[in-house]
Amino acid sequence: MKSKYSSFLAPALFALLLASTAGALSRDRQAPDSPSTSGRQQPRDAGLAQRRQALTHLIAEQKFEQAEAALESEPALLEEKDELSLTVLHTAVLGGPVKASVPFITWLLAHGANPNATASDGTTPLMLAVRSEELPPVIALLQGGSDPAMRDAHGFTALSIAASLDSDQIARELMKAGAEPDLFQAAELGLTDRLTALLHNDPHLLEARDEITHSTALLLAATHRRHEAVRLLLSFHPSLDVYSAAATGQIEFLQSHLSKDDPAVNARDPFTRQTPLLMAVQGGDLNTIRLLLDYGAEVNAGLKGPMAGSPLAAAIQCGDKEAARLLVERGADTKHFYPGFGNAYAMALARHRPDIAELVK
């Protein structure tokens, strides 16, 4: 199943990279204290920095033979970082179709590129490759010595990124390379054997919350639609609230704890900041979604404020046409603009779901 969390980060980051380097090529080296490069690595040599940025453009244009020639004549460029603190290897991972970029990635690794180089936030080339949801560059980097256990400044590893993206194939390759899933990653990936082993070893983990998502394993399994894992976790008898009940389709629980126009129907979970309806949409049970709407759940909740998002956006990201249809029938705003995505129509097209796009057009 294509993940509802499918990443738009890599293309966005590459666009930012190109904009940054284009500006740098049109001016002299910035003053050391320039605020636009605050926190980034200052180039040791203005000429070297310019040649590094020219190399970025060669990669963006997929002129890999010219890029190889530039690197052979000046090996120092291999480890020179650009204005975003990315090495050439980072740039190559972001550099276009995998059929063209993977041989270049392999060439870079064979010529001494550091497979575990980090950007200013700790992002490694492997993490970028995982976010691209393309398997070949991940394999190439692992074979070239990338460490799947490295963490960025936010605590993410390559495996936690793959798990959040529902990238099962990539996760398997990372685990073959030594990455060990914790309880939350196992829940996101639906690894029932791993979940069983972890919970038998420490039953208290059932109520633990992930430090990054603030979700329990049950919530993660439900919102990633890992139904077998949900059934397993429920068999351990976790404590339920309206949020976990909504995510897992526990209608009887909801009926006994909520009523029509109950303020709790639209209250946000203090941990995840999501409403029961948003949880239900991610969980995917139509009867639960319908019940919450009947009880007064706000179909357009989350369109404004720091938690910008909506049940309709979640349905589109999940690729759930029937949930999207139900929400539109109940008044979901199809014209709202989501920064970085566009309106619901554009979001559906970006998710390669023309059927949903037609529905929300």
Q: Are residues 128 and 52 in the same domain?
A: yes
Q: Report the distance separating Cα 310 and Cα 300, nearest Å.
A: 6
What pLDDT sits at residue 297? 96
Q: Are residue 126 and residue 212 in the same domain, yes or no?
A: no
For residue 120, the 8-state DSSP code is: T
Indicate whether 112 belongs to any domain.
yes
Torsion on CA atoms 185, 187, 188, 192, rounded to nearest 10: 110
pLDDT in tens, 313-360: 999 999 999 999 999 999 999 998 888 788 999 999 998 999 999 999
Among residues 161, 179, 197, which one ends one of the domains? 179
Q: What is the CATH number of the domain that holds 17?
A: 1.25.40.20
Write out pLDDT tens, residues 108-141.
999 889 999 999 999 999 999 999 999 999 999 9
Highest mean pLDDT pick, 45-49, 292-296, 299-303: 292-296
Asked if pLDDT for residue 44 goes beyond 60, the answer is no
- Which two three-digit tokens encode residue 191? 């690894």
pLDDT of amino acid 57: 82
Domain count, the chain: 2
Nearest C-alpha neighbor of 95 from the set 38, 57, 47: 57
Domain that holds residue 143: 9-27+43-179
The model's pTM: 0.82
Task: Judge if 59 and 175 occupy the same domain.
Answer: yes
Domain boundary among 200, 224, 239: 239
Residues 127 and 64 in one domain: yes
Cite the DSSP H helix spans in 147-241: 158-164, 168-176, 183-189, 192-201, 217-223, 227-235
> Which of the listed residues 179, 213, 229 is the one where a domain comes to its end?
179
Residue 271, in any domain of the structure: no
Residue 297: inside a domain: no
pLDDT score of 254 more than 90: yes
**49, 67: one domain:** yes
Residues 174 and 219 in one domain: no
Judged against a pLDDT cut of 70, whether residue 18 lies above it is answered with no
Shared domain check, 212 and 222: yes
User: What whole-number distance in Å separates Cα of residue 2 and Cα of residue 319?
Assistant: 8
**Do 152 and 14 lie in a common domain?**
yes
Q: Which residues contact 60 (CB under 8 A, 6 or more apart)?
A: 14, 18, 91, 95, 96
d(CA 168, CA 323): 24
CA 122/CA 284 separation, integer angstroms: 35
Place of tokens 């040791």: 44
What was the pLDDT predicted at 278? Answer: 96
